[in-house]
Amino acid sequence: MSTLTDALLTTEEVAKLLRVDPSTVRRWRTSRPVQGPPFIQMSERLTLYAPEDVRLWLSRRRVDPMAA
């Protein structure tokens, strides 16, 4: 059986999914205002991301060249 945290992504998994370095995801998270997807700060050393939050964040960044 899967637990809730099994469905969440680590910083490294988000980076791999977005094809960027994990340090880029960390920089997005720590910049003010935050530039990356919403995150869950489990502890000082563990940050998790809900896949749906990452998908929604990504869709909001989509640029339609025909609309520009």
- Whole-number pLDDT of residue 66: 87
Distance (Å, whole) CA 59 – CA 45: 28
Query: Is residue 38 one of the residues assigned to a domain?
Result: yes
Query: Is residue 65 one of the residues assigned to a domain?
Result: no
In this predicted structure, the answer to whether residue 47 has a pLDDT above a threshold of 60 is yes
The answer to whether 12 and 22 have CB atoms below 8 angstroms apart is: yes
Q: How many domains does the chain have?
A: 1
Radius of gyration, CA atoms only, the chain: 13
Nearest alpha-carbon partner for 50 in 1, 4, 3: 4
- Domain residues for the domain of 56 are 4-60
CATH number at residue 48: 1.10.10
In this predicted structure, the answer to whether residue 2 has a pLDDT above a threshold of 60 is no
Query: Is residue 53 one of the residues assigned to a domain?
Result: yes
Question: Could you tell me what percent of the chain has a pLDDT over 70?
Answer: 91
Query: Is residue 47 one of the residues assigned to a domain?
Result: yes
Q: Is the peptide bond before 33 cis (omega within 30 degrees of 0)?
A: yes
